[in-house]
């Protein structure tokens, strides 16, 4: 896997943040497992690495126990998937999923330590929806079913700047003191530290959004 967590998102992810459709959830492994179980119980979905050093497409059986960027491949929408060869990059040649295919990018949350406290980075389910119209309509329907399940079973993120949803186990950890962070570990500036401290006042009122939050 070539994508790793840094103090800011990888360049490829930063370029895509405002394109397509996405939801950015916070999840613990238990939440991730429940989500993947729903996805695979309702459709013939295989989880694979989003990119690889090999052209061979290999299923990842325990994505919730591994770091990296994955692809949710619904074989009902796309019976055959082959990696696209990228001959040149900063790290040499490699293979990756073609973004024009009717698949979803999946990044689970990562537990980290930030400012001396336990924290959780935001994950992502995303697609640029660049596939042909017929496939795009089916992909949008599938994507919408995932989002609907998340909205029904998870909690709307109480932190205004972040948005998205929080899995039940991750939400319990948040109530217990875990800091919810964006997809990257922010620098320890006074603004970010103040923003993080403001989360403490929301823990007893997790759905409150009326509070004035520090600007970043």
Residue 159 is part of which domain span? Answer: 11-187
Domain count for the chain = 1
Note whether residue 206 is domain-resident: no
* pLDDT tens figures, 112-150: 999 999 999 999 999 999 888 889 999 999 999 999 999
Hey, is 146 helix, strand or coil? helix
Residue 161's pLDDT is: 84
Note whether residue 216 is domain-resident: no
Average confidence (pLDDT) per 10 residues, the chain, 216 residues: 44 49 95 97 96 94 93 97 92 92 96 95 94 91 96 92 93 93 94 87 58 43
Residues contacting 37, CB < 8 A, separation 6+: none
Decide: 154 and 206 in contact? Cβ < 8 Å. Answer: no
**Nearest residue to 104 via CA among 80, 75, 72, 134:** 72
Residues contacting 200, CB < 8 A, separation 6+: none
Note whether residue 210 is domain-resident: no
Note whether residue 15 is domain-resident: yes
Note whether residue 122 is domain-resident: yes
């Amino acid at each position: 896997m070539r994508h790793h967590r840094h103090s800011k998102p990888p360049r490829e992810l930063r370029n895509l943040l405002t394109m397509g459709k996405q939801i950015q959830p916070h999840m613990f492994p238990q939440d991730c497992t429940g989500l993947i179980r729903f996805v695979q119980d309702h459709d013939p979905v295989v989880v694979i690495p989003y990119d690889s050093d090999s052209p061979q497409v290999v299923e990842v059986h325990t994505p919730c126990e591994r770091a990296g960027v994955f692809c949710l491949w619904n074989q009902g929408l796309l019976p055959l998937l082959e990696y696209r060869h990228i001959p040149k990059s900063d790290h040499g040649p490699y293979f990756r999923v073609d973004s024009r295919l009717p698949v979803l990018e999946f990044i689970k949350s990562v537990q980290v330590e930030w400012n001396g406290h336990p924290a959780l980075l935001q994950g992502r389910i995303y697609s640029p929806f660049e596939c042909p119209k017929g496939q795009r309509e089916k992909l949008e329907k599938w994507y919408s079913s995932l989002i609907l399940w998340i909205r029904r079973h998870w909690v709307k993120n109480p932190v205004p700047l972040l948005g998205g949803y929080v899995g039940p186990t991750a939400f319990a950890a948040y109530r217990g003191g875990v800091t919810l962070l964006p997809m990257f570990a922010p620098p320890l500036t006074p603004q970010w530290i103040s923003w993080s401290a403001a989360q403490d006042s929301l823990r007893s009122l997790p759905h409150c959004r009326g509070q004035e939050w520090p600007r970043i």
